[in-house]
Amino acid sequence: MCGIIGYTGRGGHEAAPILLRGLSRLEYRGYDSAGLSVALGPGRGLVTRKLAGRVGALRELCERLPAHGSSGIAHTRWATHGAPTARNAHPHSDCHDRIALVHNGIVENAEVLRAALTQSGHCFASDTDTEVLAHLIEEASGDTLEERVIIALGHVVGTYGLAVLSTDEPGKIVVARQGSPVLLGIGKDEYLVASDASAILEHTRSVVYLDDGDIAVLTPDGYQVIDRSAQVQERAVDALAWDLEAIELGGHAHFMHKEIAEQPETIRSTLRGRLMGDGSVARLNGLNLSPSECAELRRITIVACGTSWHAGLVGRQIIEDLAQIPVAVEYASEYRYRKPVPHSGDGNGSTLTIAISQSGETADTLEAMRAARATGSRVVGLVNVVGSTIAREADGGIYLHAGPEIGVASTKAFTSQIVALALLGGYLGAQRGMPSAVADELVCGLSRLPDLVAQTLELEPEVQELAGRFAEAHNALYLGRGVNLPVALEGALKLKEISYVHAEGYPAAEMKHGPIALIDDEMPVVFVAPHDAVYHKVVSNMHEVRARGGRILAVTTQGNGELHGLVDHVLRVPATMPLLSPVVTVLPLQLLAYHTAVLRGCDVDRPRNLAKSVTVE
């Protein structure tokens, strides 16, 4: 959701090209409008360039109308309040263009503040909630920009990651965080701020993650973090583990394609150093859950959104099967507004809440995790982005180590989430009497996955051919059962979000309770049907579709020759332990969505209306 970056330095670098490069790395967080402001130097004011459109268009504008200066801020927007127009693009200014600011988040009391500011003579130039912040800072009295920002924020209800420039103190950037991720980049004679590490990686690997309530002051000479009472706060400097290669296309046409192809390696990385051949299945040090705590667990709740929620559904079956603990999987956005039943704390065992999130910043997942903690539950995170808010607030967790996921449609995070959940299920099972033969099968199954994934990806040319059929369709139905029902849901989500072909995922046996009415020879029906305990049931569902003239694509297990005549196309994936099969069955569906979107001329990495990392509710 919206990307922000700021830069100040005394190494003689121009800010604008640095900001533009950073923005293009952030574009996956929002891409309906973009803008930047640069401080021209003492007494020379600020210059702002902004427009509705992509970062590329902003770059062209800045080539025609350069903005010279060594400090500045920039923004790429995913609209919440106000249409995606040039006037609503960030940065926003006060009445006299002495302040420029970029904002990620929502000012919830913007209407009230706007009315009060208008009454006291302020003129507004946009329809955004953000603009009130610039006028509040203008209105505030204080000797320094940070003092004025602190006073202004005292009136604000909502969330923000904020970077502010002022003509009075060129070279200084004031940053604030409340509920929206912000980190500082600490370079040599240069300091940066960004909503996301990928924007600053080419400048520095030393970062400071801000906490909610922090205010940071960056100048070309250094940085300081203070709280709302201007008390200095010590914040650790962390090292980023990602390298630049990880955030570049590396010869692929799209990040989504690169990330699909990376999965043998990302799964290897999720497993690295964690698999144990001694019956304990996994070493999960970061989980902070002792063997006796595992043994006492009475129930687990998984909270997540979107693709991560689908991974949670797979995780439910894995954990229930291996560890015999009842698991509920909740949409984080729903869970946070229910009244979750408090953890009884009666000595009969405890509850565990698992927040699954690639970004670690999804607002609903974060709030659901906080709501669960308020009931007395222990909370752990299954997160990809190191240092993200969910990772930092959880009592423990498992990092996916899948590397940065930049394609808006999540792919490699999904398979790593399932692998991490399998490690967790095996770890819990091992403490709770799981037979050692199952432990061995799981360890063996997990260690083979990277190779099986690599083999499955060789189906790409075949899938690419099939994509033509889907590119012409208006609707598609994805059906699966058991551990592969979430794969059907995920396949449908992938198709609709990047190719805009309407797709529905459904439990195969539920089809005859309604969706079967949709079937005709126009609509492709995808069955996810590897050889497992429910395979023959799913084949019966195929017959039902076939009898009504439906066109079937089946994803099944290698060696299965019996679907001949029943389905139009078969994609065969390698055999795995059934509980792990979603890691391979989902791959052709990711590729199918990708190639369908390419054939339809869609912007795969920037699907319309979407953005990576939903930091507003």
Phi and psi dihedrals of 269, rounded to 5?
-70, -35
Decide whether 99 or 247 has the Cβ nearer to ligand F6R.
Answer: 247
Residue with tokens 């995922």: 505
Shortest Å, Cβ 93 to ligand F6R? 32
Q: 110-119 and 131-139 are packed helices; what angle lies between their axes, rounded to 10 degrees? A: 50
Could you list the beta-strand ranges (E) of 227-296: 238-239, 275-276, 281-282
Shortest Å, Cβ 614 to ligand F6R? 5
Decide whether 145 or 305 has the Cβ nearer to ligand F6R.
Answer: 305
Shortest Å, Cβ 208 to ligand F6R? 22
Beta pairing, strands 173-178 & 183-186: unpaired
Q: Using CB under 6 A, count the residues that bind ligand F6R.
A: 15
Decide whether 28 or 191 has the Cβ nearer to ligand F6R.
Answer: 28
Q: % helix / strand / coil in the chain, to the nearest 5?
A: 40, 25, 40
Nearest partner of 530 among 505, 563, 564, judged by Cα: 563
Decide whether 367 or 532 has the Cβ nearer to ligand F6R.
Answer: 367
Decide whether 410 or 431 has the Cβ nearer to ligand F6R.
Answer: 410
Shortest Å, Cβ 492 to ligand F6R? 11
**Residue 371 falls in which region: left (phi positive, over 0), alpha (psi -120 to 50) or beta:** alpha
Of 242-250, 352-360, 557-565, 595-603, which part binds ligand F6R (CB under 6 A)?
352-360
Of 148-156, 359-367, 429-437, 595-603, which part binds ligand F6R (CB under 6 A)?
359-367
Shortest Å, Cβ 75 to ligand F6R? 20
Specify whether the CB–CB gap between 152 and 129 falls below 8 A: no
Specify whether the CB–CB gap between 170 and 154 falls below 8 A: no
Q: Known catalytic residue: 537?
A: no
Q: Does 484 bind ligand F6R (CB under 6 A)?
A: no
Measured CA to CA, the distance from residue 315 to residue 323 in angstroms comes to 11
Shortest Å, Cβ 493 to ligand F6R? 6
Decide whether 3 or 35 has the Cβ nearer to ligand F6R.
Answer: 3
Which listed residue (351, 357, 576, 615) binds ligand F6R by CB under 6 A?
357
Specify whether the CB–CB gap between 59 and 43 falls below 8 A: no
> Site residues for ligand F6R, window 97-156 (CB under 6 A)?
none
Shortest Å, Cβ 440 to ligand F6R? 32
Max CA separation in the chain (angstroms): 80
Decide whether 358 or 560 has the Cβ nearer to ligand F6R.
Answer: 358
Alpha helices (runs of H) in 131-247, residue ranges in sequence order? 131-139, 145-153
Beta pairing, strands 502-507 & 475-480: parallel
- Residue nearest to ligand F6R as judged by C-beta position: 306
> Choosing from 2, 294, 305, 602, which is the catalytic residue?
2
Q: Known catalytic residue: 2?
A: yes
Q: Does 613 bind ligand F6R (CB under 6 A)?
A: yes
| Tokens linked to 242 | 């990602």
Of 285-293, 336-344, 354-362, 479-487, which part binds ligand F6R (CB under 6 A)?
354-362
Residue with tokens 């990806």: 457
> Choosing from 50, 172, 496, 612, which is the catalytic residue?
612
Helix (H, G, I), strand (E, B) or coil at 11: coil
> Residue 269 contacts by C-beta under 8 Å, 6 or more apart in sequence?
401, 402, 403, 416
What mask of x and - would describe binding to ligand F6R in positions 270 to 309, judged by CB under 6 A? Answer: -----------------------------------xxxx-
Of 239-247, 293-301, 355-363, 523-531, which part binds ligand F6R (CB under 6 A)?
355-363
Shortest Å, Cβ 414 to ligand F6R? 8
HSE-CB at 424 with a 13 A cutoff on CA atoms is 35
Which listed residue (359, 416, 431, 590) binds ligand F6R by CB under 6 A?
359
Measured CA to CA, the distance from residue 610 to residue 607 in angstroms comes to 6
Q: Does 590 bind ligand F6R (CB under 6 A)?
A: no
Measured CA to CA, the distance from residue 116 to residue 243 in angstroms comes to 48
Which listed residue (317, 351, 353, 362) binds ligand F6R by CB under 6 A?
362
Specify whether the CB–CB gap between 306 and 358 falls below 8 A: no
Nearest partner of 452 among 275, 584, 586, judged by Cα: 584
CA angle 225, 365, 327 (to 5 degrees): 135
> Site residues for ligand F6R, window 491-520 (CB under 6 A)?
493, 497
| Tokens linked to 353 | 């809440």
Which listed residue (430, 614, 615, 616) binds ligand F6R by CB under 6 A?
614
Which listed residue (409, 446, 488, 495) binds ligand F6R by CB under 6 A?
409
Measured CA to CA, the distance from residue 601 to residue 160 in angstroms comes to 35
> Residue 330 contacts by C-beta under 8 Å, 6 or more apart in sequence?
301, 302, 303, 304, 368
Decide whether 70 or 263 has the Cβ nearer to ligand F6R.
Answer: 263
Shortest Å, Cβ 49 to ligand F6R? 31
DSSP string for 372-408: HHHTT-EEEEEESSTT-HHHHHSSEEEE-------SS
Decide whether 358 or 576 has the Cβ nearer to ligand F6R.
Answer: 358
Shortest Å, Cβ 30 to ligand F6R? 13
Of 10-18, 276-284, 353-361, 569-577, which part binds ligand F6R (CB under 6 A)?
353-361
Which listed residue (365, 389, 484, 585) binds ligand F6R by CB under 6 A?
365
Shortest Å, Cβ 410 to ligand F6R? 3
Alpha helices (runs of H) in 272-362, residue ranges in sequence order? 291-296, 306-323, 332-335
Decide whether 71 or 613 has the Cβ nearer to ligand F6R.
Answer: 613
Q: Which residues bind ligand F6R (CB under 6 A)?
A: 305-308, 357-359, 362, 365, 409-410, 493, 497, 613-614
Question: Could you give the residue numbers annotated as active site?
Answer: 2, 612
